[in-house]
Amino acid sequence: MATTPQPIYSGKVRDIYDAGDDNLLFVASDRISAFDVVMAEPIPDKGRVLTAITAFWLGVTADLVPNHLVSLDPPDMPADWVGRTMLVRRAEMLPIECIVRGYLSGSAWKEYRASGTMHGRALPSGLRESERLPEPVFTPSTKFTPAEGEVGHDENISFEQAVSLVGREVAERARDISLAVYQRGAELAAARGIVIADTKFELGVIDGELALCDEVLTPDSSRFWDAAAYAPGTTPPSYDKQPVRDWLEATGWDKAPPPPALPQDVVDASRERYATAYERLSGRSFADWPGVGRGS
């Protein structure tokens, strides 16, 4: 890196630094959030899992779409950043989030129950919760800009609204990329016993071309289910922060900060879920990933 990285953004999970030469450093922390609140207790190595899974998928999909990755091992990193850092090209990010749904779950299921639609688009009648859709569907969203005193959130939009934000050519290309990457990921995951119910991609423009950016097909950006436990008409357990959410719900917490302290067994169960997702998808041992066991 040509210059000392300068912090420019800190999110719920990732910290972003300006690395100079039109590059950024993405550092995935072990922070975990639930119900839009960051817990006080980190999940050891969670950031490394997110980085490892993203790196795996960027390799698997490199022939489908360019991506922003420059290096997983930039020089002069602090020891606690090892295995959780990506040096990436700076991109002009699209003002839409590229969501692909392969199964009827989450907010899509709620809408379908109320109106028989998903993002305003009619679906066949009689579908059950978590049922596989006839084909994967691109359902974009955009960041809602809150007024003073309001909380920001993602807002579902139609494809035509996405066109109005980015233009038809870019919207169609973003849709096609998103569906192609999801389809490849879902097929590979299915062969390894994991259902990818839905996912969110971030796309940006690099050198005049749309590129895949940020995290890709991770348990934080996607809904992963164990294929052995999957059944339509149910809410399958997921490979992510489900142990945290379940424990918090059981406490009666009102979902306003500060959250209750997570017990060690919940932290351990969450770490196991994340690590297992990487190992099942990649066929590799998470213990071999750089820095594993070093903590945050």
SS (H, E, C) the chain: CCCCCEEEEECCCEEEEEEECCEEEEEECCCCEECCEECCCCCCCHHHHHHHHHHHHHHHCCCCCCECEEECCCCCCCHHHCCCEEEEECCEECCCEEEEEEECCHHHHHHHHHHCEECCEECCCCCCCCCEEEEEEECCEEECCCCCCCCCCEEECCHHHHHHHHCHHHHHHHHHHHHHHHHHHHHHHHHCCEEEEEEEEEEEEECCEEEEECCCCCCCCEEEEEHHHCCCCCCCCECCCHHHHHHHHHHCCCCCCCCCCCCHHHHHHHHHHHHHHHHHHHCCCHHHCCCCCCCC
Percent of the chain with pLDDT over 90: 84
Cα–Cα separations (whole angstroms), residue 169 to 142, 179, 183, 192, 209 = 18, 16, 21, 35, 12
Q: What pTM, to 2 d.p., does this model score? A: 0.93
| DSSP class of 146 | P
Domains of the chain from N-terminus onward: 1-90 (3.30.200.20), 93-229 (3.30.470.20)
Residue 147, pLDDT > 50, answer no
| DSSP class of 241 | S
Peptide bond into 258 cis (omega under 30): yes
Reduce the DSSP state of residue 50 to 3 states and report it.
helix
Flag the least confident range among 74-78, 80-84, 174-178, 211-215: 74-78
> For residues 103 and 227, is the Cβ–Cβ distance under 8 A?
no
Convert the pLDDT of each residue in 17-65 to its tens digit.
Answer: 999 999 999 999 999 999 889 999 999 999 999 999 999 999 999 999 9
> For residues 49 and 278, is the Cβ–Cβ distance under 8 A?
yes
Flag the least confident range among 5-19, 55-69, 94-108, 132-146: 132-146
Convert the pLDDT of each residue in 162-204 to its tens digit.
Answer: 999 999 999 999 999 999 999 999 999 999 999 999 999 999 9
